[in-house]
Each structure stands twice: as C-alpha cells, then as structure tokens.
Amino acid sequence: MQYLEGRKYVVQAIFLAVALVFAARLFYIQVMDGSYKLAADRNTLQRIVQVPYRGLIYDRKGQILVQNTPVYDLMVTPREVKKLDTLRFCELIQLSLEDLRAGLKAAKAFSRVKASPLVSNLSTPELAAIQDNLIDFPGFSVKAHMARSYNTKNLAHALGYVGAITPAFLEKPKFSKYNPGDFLGITGLESYYEKELMGRRGVQYRMVNVRGIEKGAFRGGEFDTLSVAGQDLHLSIDSDLQAYAEMLMQGKRGSVVALDPKTGEILAFVSAPMFEPATLSGKGMGNRYMDLLNNTERPLFNRPLMATYPPGSTFKLVNELVALQMGVVTPQTGFPCNWKLVRCTHRHEYPSNVGIAIKNSCNPYFYQVMRTAVMRGRSANRFEDARLGLGEWRRQVMKFGLGEKLGVDLSQEKKGLIPSPDFYDKRNGYHRWNFRTVYSLSIGQGEIGITGLQMANIMATIANRGWYYTPHFVKGIGAGGPLPQYRVRHTVGVDPIHFDEIIPGMQGVVDGRGGTGGNASLLDVGISVAGKTGTVQNPHGDDHATFAAFAPAEDPKIAVVVFIENAGFGGSSAAPLASLLMEKYIRGSVAPWRKRWETWLQGPGEKFVRHH
C-alpha cells in the first residue's frame, strides 16, 4: 500500500511535467495536502488544493522577465522509510551522507507521519534522472510546484524572489490563508505585489475509497471553490537600458536611478554590486543566499532605496527654489563668493546672478541664499529666529519628497533626513544653536540624508517645473493601470516661473564653457542636457561622486541620478555614465565616437572600488 502511494506521486509528477510543458498557462497544479478518514463509510475525504498560476512579469516593451517553471521537491515521510540502502540512495540523489542524516533528522523532528521536503527545487531533468529508481525507496515521494525562472540577468534588487513560507510569516494575520510549504514573494516586487501575482487558491473535496479509487465530489461539490489565476505585472523598466546601466556599473559600488519625469515611471534601477535574479531560485538557493548575505561588499543592500547620502551640490538647486518661492531672493540676486563664510569649490567670476552661481557651484552663494531664507527677523532673539526660520524652510524642502518615504512600490525604502529644529534642540540644547550650526544644509552637507531615488525625483520635479508622480515600477496590473496612488500628481509649492533661471543654469553646467559637468554633454548628438555635478564628502574614505540630470532640457524624457561610492569628483565618472544612459534612452543607441566613455568607465575596477 505504501509502495503504491509513492508510485502514485511519481506518476502524477511525470504527468505534470509533460502537461505543464504543453499546456503552459491553462494548467493548474494539483497538490494533495491532506486526507481525512470518514468513520461512517470507510471512505477517505481528500482535500485537493489548486494553486493558481503565478502572474508573469514583463518590461515596458512587453519582454517577459519572469515566468514560471515546474520544480519538484523530494519528500520523505519518516515512518514509511523501510531498510534504507543509504549508499545507493545518496548516490542516486547526489546527496552527502551527512546531508541525508541531517535531512532525515529534521523531517522526524517535524513529523513522523507527515511528508516534509528532503531536497527542494529539483529541475525537470534532475527529477528525470531519479524518478525510475525512486520506486525502490519506500517513504520517498515527489511533490511538484511552480518556481520562478528568469529571462533576464538584471534587476534583481527590484524583482526580489519567491520562496517557501517561513514559520515567522505563517504567524502573521496577513498570511492566515497560507499553509506550510506554500510559496510566496519574499522580497522586492514579488513581495509588494504578492496579492495580485498569486491569485486565489481553489479547494476541492473528493471521496476516495480504501483502494484509492475516486468516488466523486464530496456532497456534490458544495464546499469546493475555484482558483483564480494571478495577474501579470507590466513594469516601466526598459530592459535594454537596465542591462546597459548594470554593465556600466560593473565593478563599482553605488546606484543609478532613471525616471520618466512625466509619469514617475522607473526606467532603470541599479544597486551595485549586482547579482543575477536566478541566484535566488532553484536547488541550492539557500546556500547562495547565505553567500550574498555574508559578502562584505553587501550585494543584498538595496542602495537606491536604503543608502542615504548628504546629496552635496545637487541640493543647492532645492535650496535656491525654496528661497525664490519665499520671495527672499530673485534670480538676479548676487552674493559675494566669500570664503570666510564657507570654502568655495574653486576661484571663479563674481556670482552676480543664480545662473553663474549654479554653473560654478558656488558654496558661499548658496550659504547666503539659505541664510536669507532662514533668518527673517521673526524674533529679536537670533536663536529663536533660526529656530522659526529653519522650521519654515524645512516644511518647504520636504514638499520635494524629502525626509519622508516617497512611497515607491518596494518595501525597503528609507525616508532620509531633513533635520528639524527639534533635532538641533535635542543635539545642541534649546536656544543653543543658530544659523552657523546648520549652514552645511545649504550646500547639501552635514546632517542631511537623501536616497538615490529621492534625488532622481528632485530631477524629475525640476524637469516638470514643480510637480512629480511618485516613482514606481509597475505601470500596469493585468489589463489595468498602476495602483491608484501612482496617478496622483504632487506639486512642490514652487511656481513654474522660478524654474526658468534654474534650468538654463543647469544647462550651463553641462554645455557651458568651463561647466563642471562638461563630460556629460550630448551636444554632439543634438541633445541638450541640464545637470548638476556633486561630490559627497565621505568621512570614512574617498568622496562619493554624483551627477543628476535630465534631457532633453526643453522637453525632458528622462531624469537620471548616478552615485558612485569612493570615486571622488562627480564630473569625471558619474557625469559621463549618466550621459551614456540618457543618449541610449533618447536615441536608442550610443554614437560610435562616444563609446570611448564606455571604455573609460569600465577601466580597471580597482580605480573605483577600494577594498577595505
């Protein structure tokens, strides 16, 4: 009898493998997850769970990125194991004796009478190699389920992965409908859109007699429910741009975020170092996960969402826009490049207007812009004046989506920090700090912390002259659009007219004579770029390089932010990397004479990444 049971599972699995290959989408896996004996008629009631097909994931051009493939778990029911020939078994399964013993021990600890997995995620060829011989080993059976397979080597940090539900998950009310052994999205989009992707399970109850022959539906099927297939996700990611960005970030640490400013759709999203999404699927994924977790380069760390940096010079633009809106400066306001206030980046012409100040990234200029915006004489007490002024300034700055989570469709996002008056009260004491304490904020340094995603969103907001849609990865669920929150337009409270001087200033950074972002110029291919270089001071080592930009300046189609850790000045590495991405997205390819920048960026990795 036990014998037959085992054989039945194997035969079912073979049938499944064949059927799945041909029937693809229409097929539902049937998993028997329990049987109940009915005392009255000696029949057994079988509960058959239909696991619906998990939704697929496509890129913005309709390319499939993530699909389903059948995999098999070798199950063991300890009580049914009889006179196991361990040597032959280990050879067949290609398992070490230690792993077999540990697996059997764990299975016994779980239950002697219930099946639990001994080896998980065997592929169809791996199953084919063992299934004929499995009949000789009572107590072992095969359980089929669907796993993810990948048509892309990229985007692992956003896609996330699917795995077996853990006991910790099962205790949460959100997962009350899941059973041990079920699969679900653990991280990334797979987790954020779990509800949409998984669909709804169906359950059928069947009567089976003692010989294992089906005797029809239980009570005419009145307790049966139908399964509903999961919905597909259509990402805004451009796979070609994504692959190109990952290639250019090879051997570096940092992040890249590219957005369509008009929609908030994320076009490319890189956290370097990268790994391939398939790393976290299939046989042995547990070990590979531990390798990533223990890697000192921290490849699992989702940098664009989780690493907060002081943004450096790029933040000067927000500072300026807030002051313009408050009416405390005009684009024609000049301030001296006074090195007694704060050191400037270099010696340059007198910043008699904001355009010249932006082009030269003049630190003392933006120090004075913020001081004018904060110290308004609201109180005769200059400590109280700084307190009130900083509070008001911070409220305006936060409208750019800073100091709070933007609400992207991934769960790991950090909110960053725009320090409040309370922050300094706690740190320095009430009325024990003034503008000299906080001036670093004016040039994007000091306590301020911003994520790569937030920085990209600032660029999208400037490109749009004052509004943005929350950045998101999924532009379509099933046949519908994105989640409703991604259709809400947010305004940052700065009138469009104030962008008229900022944007030409940013064009001067890239295309102007002696601008700091000249390496990002695309004038030779007819594209005007508005950008800002930044160098982020790093107390732990070499400075980080940043470049933030959008293009074409007059009708922006892409906004990009590049952070490269420990790469020094932003103009030399981050700027050309961003320009290659903008060129590729706008023109579809990179001009042959600009490929030298690819070579330059892919130069010896040691140049950018230092191992500590």
- Positions touching Zn ion (CB under 5 A) are 337, 344, 362
Could you identify the residue written with the tokens 């509004």?
Answer: 467
**Closer to Zn ion by Cβ: residue 345 or 437:** 345
**Closer to Zn ion by Cβ: residue 51 or 502:** 502
**Closer to Zn ion by Cβ: residue 116 or 535:** 535
374: enclosing H helix or E strand: helix 363-374
**Closer to Zn ion by Cβ: residue 513 or 611:** 513
Separation of alpha carbons 601 and 302, rounded Å: 22
Separation of alpha carbons 400 and 455, rounded Å: 10
In the complex, what is the shortest distance from the CB of residue 405 to Zn ion, in angstroms, rounded to a whole number?
35
Before 552, cis peptide (omega within 30)? Answer: yes
In the complex, what is the shortest distance from the CB of residue 266 to Zn ion, in angstroms, rounded to a whole number?
35
DSSP-derived secondary structure letter, 588: S
In the complex, what is the shortest distance from the CB of residue 345 to Zn ion, in angstroms, rounded to a whole number?
7
Dihedral (C-alpha) 97, 98, 99, 103: value to the nearest 10 degrees?
100
SS3 annotation, 589-605: CCCHHHCHHHHHHCCCH
Before 273, cis peptide (omega within 30)? Answer: yes
What is the token pair recorded at 180?
A: 């041990």
Separation of alpha carbons 577 and 581, rounded Å: 7
Q: Which amino acid is at 548?
A: A
In the complex, what is the shortest distance from the CB of residue 255 to Zn ion, in angstroms, rounded to a whole number?
29
**Closer to Zn ion by Cβ: residue 344 or 530:** 344
In the complex, what is the shortest distance from the CB of residue 356 to Zn ion, in angstroms, rounded to a whole number?
9
**Closer to Zn ion by Cβ: residue 362 or 510:** 362
In the complex, what is the shortest distance from the CB of residue 314 to Zn ion, in angstroms, rounded to a whole number?
16
In the complex, what is the shortest distance from the CB of residue 350 to Zn ion, in angstroms, rounded to a whole number?
9
**Closer to Zn ion by Cβ: residue 180 or 514:** 514
Residues in a beta bridge with 490: 468
In the complex, what is the shortest distance from the CB of residue 386 to Zn ion, in angstroms, rounded to a whole number?
24
Could you identify the residue written with the tokens 């070490």?
Answer: 96
What is the token pair recorded at 32?
A: 């028997």
Beta-sheet pairing, 233-235 with 57-58: parallel
Where are the alpha helices (H) located in 111-163, listed in sequence order?
124-128, 156-159
Separation of alpha carbons 342 and 362, rounded Å: 10
**Closer to Zn ion by Cβ: residue 365 or 550:** 365
In the complex, what is the shortest distance from the CB of residue 339 to Zn ion, in angstroms, rounded to a whole number?
8
Whether the CB-CB separation of 230 and 52 falls below 8 Å is answered with yes
**Closer to Zn ion by Cβ: residue 35 or 332:** 332
Angle (deg, nearest 10), helices 97-110 and 86-93: 100
**Closer to Zn ion by Cβ: residue 206 or 316:** 316
In the complex, what is the shortest distance from the CB of residue 362 to Zn ion, in angstroms, rounded to a whole number?
3
**Closer to Zn ion by Cβ: residue 337 or 558:** 337
Beta-sheet pairing, 202-208 with 64-76: unpaired
Whether the CB-CB separation of 328 and 322 falls below 8 Å is answered with no
In the complex, what is the shortest distance from the CB of residue 357 to Zn ion, in angstroms, rounded to a whole number?
7
In the complex, what is the shortest distance from the CB of residue 464 to Zn ion, in angstroms, rounded to a whole number?
29
257: enclosing H helix or E strand: strand 254-260
**Closer to Zn ion by Cβ: residue 15 or 339:** 339
CA angle at 315 for the pair 555 and 421, rounded to the nearest 5°? 135
Do you know the residue count of the chain? Answer: 612
Separation of alpha carbons 98 and 110, rounded Å: 18
Q: How many CA atoms lie within 13 A of 198 on its CB side?
A: 21
